[in-house]
Amino acid sequence: MDQELIQQERTKKLWFLVFYSLVFFVIWTFCELLLKTKLAAIDPYLNLLLKLLLWTLPVWLILKYWDHTEPLKYLKLKENFLQGIIWGVTLSGVLILYILFRDLVLLKKAFCPRIDQYTLLSAVILIGFTEEVVFRGFLLQKLNELMKFWNANLISSGLFLVIHFPKWYHEGLFFKPSIYGSIIFIFCFGVLEGYVLKRSKSLWACMLIHSINNLMTMAFK
């Protein structure tokens, strides 16, 4: 009977994650395709508030009132800060070298580091925080409670890839050959970030790496 109850609880958690993911993806797709342009016409910073609310607030509420756990501790934002920074700085250095080689040597792009305050806040700082909270801090760890780590990491990385589709479609990137490279990179990047969380036990490492990646990517044209 105990084993049956455990299985029922696992099934309940799995269906909850499926429901959360579907609702989240539908709402965010609507925002990307229809709402963000209208909000930007009023005030660009409204989009920052929208992403902060839709991505992080539900996670915090679920952890706090559904799971009855401390959100910061569960998300690995309360402990192992120094360890996370060490991991983040070390792997960010490797990532910087990779991006320099890819963009300067292979793709022959020009180095144009012109990033305004809004772009720095939205595409570097906010994205590094919100996306890691949802996909590594929440979904990866929730999936890992139900299955082996690498299975959970591959699924969460796949979901991380799919959440980029509405933006790519809206910007017409699906019709460009470069989309295949972006798909491979985003998925592999998600897998790497999951591994970093497992080893560092700190979401700070993932956030730092994610922000540095976005900063470097935008520095080339």
Q: Any idea which residue has 């935008």 for tokens?
A: 218
Q: Any idea which residue has 């780590």 for tokens?
A: 149
Distances (CA, A) of 141 to 11, 68, 137, 159, 212: 16, 16, 6, 14, 23
- Predicted confidence at residue 8, as pLDDT, reads 85
Q: Radius of gyration over alpha carbons of the chain, in Å?
A: 18
- Predicted confidence at residue 167, as pLDDT, reads 93
Q: Where are the domains of the chain?
A: 2-217
- Predicted confidence at residue 73, as pLDDT, reads 97
Write out the two tokens for 42: 């009023």
DSSP letter at 111 equals: B
- Predicted confidence at residue 202, as pLDDT, reads 98
Name the residue among 148, 139, 147, 146 with its Cα closest to residue 206.
Answer: 139
Q: Are 144 and 152 in contact (CB under 8 A)?
A: yes
Q: Within 10 A of 49 (CB to CB), how many other CB atoms are there?
A: 12
CB contact set of 189 (below 8 Å; sequence gap of 6+):
213
User: Which of 192-218 are b and which e, b meaning 16 or more Cβ less than 10 Å from the residue's Cβ?
Assistant: bbbbbbbebebbbbbbbbbbbbbbbeb
DSSP letter at 126 equals: I
Rounding to the nearest 10 degrees, give the CA dihedral for residues 76, 82, 84, 85. Answer: 140
In the chain (221 residues long), the average pLDDT of successive 10-residue segments reads 80 94 97 93 93 96 96 96 96 94 85 81 92 98 97 98 95 88 95 98 98 89 71
- Predicted confidence at residue 156, as pLDDT, reads 98
The predicted model scores a pTM of 0.94
First to last CA, the chain: 61
Write out the two tokens for 64: 């706090």
